[in-house]
Amino acid sequence: MKPLGGQPPEQFVADFFTTFTEAVVHGSEEAADLMARYYTRDVVQVADGVRLDWDRLVAHLRPVRRNLTAFRFEVHEALADGNRIAARFTIHAQLRKGGPVTTQVHMFAEFTPDGLLRRAEQLTRAVDPAEPTEPAEPTEPTEPTEPAEPAEPADPELQR
């Protein structure tokens, strides 16, 4: 994987996960060899409190390879500080059985200088595929309106 370098962090995150997942789904490379191109051997990824080390991540690739038919990563925002990245993105996936799955991810990650993922903390949430993945654009505030004048009674008898 390429290092972050001068690349915008949103692009780095999108490229990292897209090229990795593309190789998992469409490649024939052994899972461990593939992992070595994207992750450090001492990787620790904690997703929703579940700790995944190298062996558990390699094992996770087998069902992904069998079940994922299409995918897209939509990076909403990412910030970088050296080799650390905070990102918010959505994974749009199509499974062989079960249909579409949409997952929002909030991630804090550390990469090596050469672009390998060393550590990641992720919080995820399943999203209804029909739900927008970006918040609605804020609307322009409207000018406050003046209170209406009280209406004159129509019946002159009521005016007394």
* pTM (global) more than 0.85: no
Instruction: Check whether 159 has a pLDDT greater than 50.
Output: no
Give the residue from 87, 89, 111, 114 showing the smallest Cα distance to 102: 89
- pLDDT tens digit string along 9-63? 999 999 999 999 999 999 889 999 999 999 999 999 999 999 999 999 999 998 9
Cα separation of 37 and 51, whole Å?
21
How far the first Cα of the chain sits from its last, in Å, is 86
Per-residue pLDDT, averaged over 139-155, amounts to: 53
Categorize the per-residue pLDDT at 2 as very low, low, confident or very high, splitting at 50, 70 and 90: low
Cα separation of 41 and 116, whole Å?
10
Instruction: Check whether 156 has a pLDDT greater than 70.
Output: no
* pLDDT score at 7: 87
CB 12 within 8 A of CB 80: yes
